[in-house]
Amino acid sequence: MGKPHPGAGAALAAALAALLGACSAHNPARPPQPAPPAAPASGSTAGGSCLPPVSAAERTPRPLPGARIQAAELGLAGPAAGGPAQRCGAPAPGTGPAPLAGAPVPPEPAPDDGERDGPPHASDQPPAATAAARPANAGDGTPRAAEPPPSGVPNLWDRIRAGLRLPVPDHPRVRRELAWLIRNPDYLERVSRRARPFLRHIVAEVEARDMPLEIALLPVVESAFQPFAYSHGRAAGIWQIIPGTARRLGVRMSWWYDGRRDIVESTRAALDYLERLHAHFGGDWLLALAAYNAGEGNVDRAIARNRRRGRPTDFWHLRLPRETRTYVPRLLAVAAVVREPARYGIALAPIPDEPHLAVVPTGGQIDLALAARLADMTLEDLYRYNPGLNRWATDPHGPHRLVLPRDRAAAFEARLAEIPPHARVRWTRHRVRRGETLGHIARRYRVTVADIRRVNRIRGHLIRAGQSLLIPVASQGRAAYSLSADARRARLRATPRGDRKVVHRVRRGDTLWDIARAYGVSVRRLARWNGLALRDPLRPGDTLVVWLRDGGARAARPVSAAAVLPEETRRTIHYVVRRGDSLSRIARRFRVSVRDLVRWNGLRLGDYLRPGQRLKVHVDVTRLGTG
């Protein structure tokens, strides 16, 4: 850590010393009890967690005095060893300056790559560039209060504070998260700007279900309110919902549309799931929240394990995954700061507590360039209000609606009514050429095979040369649809991550693991560079970018995966082909590539395998029998 500012410790102590009074006022001393402290009933969720954003300011957090924050340095009289944990309405920060590590893998560049990562009007610049927008210091190191909302308009943060219900324990894990937030005040300031267009809708939905308003703050922990966030576990959107959970909750996911990123639909689904978890865990919100992150099965097993051993079964006593043990305290720390930001030296920009979004029906598929023109918006802003849209138009199968700023909705509806449904998407006729397939034609026009079959009433996949097909086409070039899934991924892949870029064309049997080992890079980095999750399938012909560093980087052409296996874990086996075996089936069984199998055995792709034939296979024994 760097050398602290001379008055940093004193400033933090002054900012937090009032917590002692708040704690003693709200909670009289309790009789001693064993540590760690038990927690009251509380809550849980289902996606992967999104750790702090990857801006340069947060990769190098401002240090507090000393290598470790002690309770005394913060003006906080922590409980004696083995003594009681004190709970209070306003939580108290304490020991452990643990910067939050890791981040979800977004399908577009993070803010430090020069891209906006929030909704419209949520520019995310480095701290130096936003100094003028932040509250000025009052002279003693604490920020002045943020300007109030326009006269007569209530502040949404006040409404949220009134609905915070979950007690915050004085627990080391909560104190660590509070310490990080105190050291990085810019983080919550940026997140609140991203949340501005959507937070009131989420608050209203949470209130309608009589849930604690801490739930409305969950996207701060999950995704930092980045609608395009995508984690290595395939979780997407501000609520970080994984595909399996989305299907169980009735969220539509298609080539055109991903409801996990749709603000309205993902909020509905996340709250549905949280309600189920809350009921499943007998009204304990902390257990429900833990299960949202780790899955109810993991939490159920942890509870059963503690019961067998005669231990408490509240969240604070369960042995859960490390991410989950941090996840719930992080939400409680965020809620504590929202409840009393001035005590922590953090200013939250006011958000007017008035309707901002309108959900407008479209009656069918519509080209997004046309929709943006009718709404008098930029196409980029339309994508940011509707981050679930993957392509150049809405999904022909629905949902047939758009989310717009409230002040644009009436004009959009009036203008849309003047355009007949068939004119809301452009159409062209394509004459089939010899050798073309429906797949070739779909890729050329950026539609799906299913769409071509549906429009032209084709039952199978057979088409004839000379046949005429009606195809929906985008009204603008690819560059205009700058936040489509393809454009976001292309921008991510073009972002420099090393000294030299190699483009690898996927071959039959390739896996991310094989390719990463061949080039000497980590699997997670390879996935992040290409906007993929670790379990996303690879198709032959796909291209991946690999960033290498000069001096010690592996050759641009990948070597055999077997050649990079450590000697101590590499074994050669001889496999006897059985009836029904194929090269791809054998490759999957031993976690090698088809290309390697062919090369090791002097075969050619497409060669017929005979039962009883012996094949040489080089395997990594550490990978067999896993996952």
Query: Mind telling me the catalytic residues?
Result: 222
Contact 332, 92 (CB under 8 A): no
Strand 570-576 vs strand 614-620: parallel, antiparallel, or unpaired? antiparallel
What residues pair up with 404 in beta bridges, in sequence order? 358
Contact 596, 560 (CB under 8 A): yes
Cα–Cα distance between 211 and 582 in angstroms, integer? 54
Cα–Cα distance between 621 and 571 in angstroms, integer? 7
Q: Kindly report the CA angle at 449 between 448 and 451, in degrees rounded to 5? A: 65
Strands (E), 134-255: 168-169
Residue 488's identity, in one-letter code, is R
Contact 227, 261 (CB under 8 A): yes
DSSP states along 55-76: -HHHHSPPPPSSSS--GGGGT-
Residue that is written with structure tokens 């609608």 in the block: 227
Q: CA dist 122 to 55, 239, 335, 346, 409, Å?
A: 15, 18, 22, 19, 21
Tokens of 623: 């990978």
Residue 534's identity, in one-letter code, is L
Cα–Cα distance between 79 and 53 in angstroms, integer? 33
Tokens of 531: 């906007």
Strand 468-473 vs strand 401-405: parallel, antiparallel, or unpaired? unpaired
Contact 326, 173 (CB under 8 A): yes
CA atoms within 13 A on the CB side of 552: 3
Phi, psi of 183 (to 5 degrees): -70, -20
520 secondary structure, DSSP code: T
Q: Which of 70, 349, 327 is nearest to 185 (CA)?
A: 349
Q: Kindly report the CA angle at 304 between 300 and 309, in degrees rounded to 5? A: 150
Phi, psi of 427 (to 5 degrees): -130, 150
Contact 192, 202 (CB under 8 A): no
Kind and range of the H or E element at 389?
Answer: none
Tokens of 462: 């057979």
Phi, psi of 125 (to 5 degrees): -105, 160
Helices 199-208, 263-280: axis angle to 10 degrees equals 40
Chain centre distance of CA 404: 23
Cα–Cα distance between 135 and 144 in angstroms, integer? 6
Chain centre distance of CA 607: 43
Helix/strand number for the chain, H first, E second:
23, 10
269 exposed, middle or buried (CB, 10 Å; 0-12, 13-18, 19+)? buried
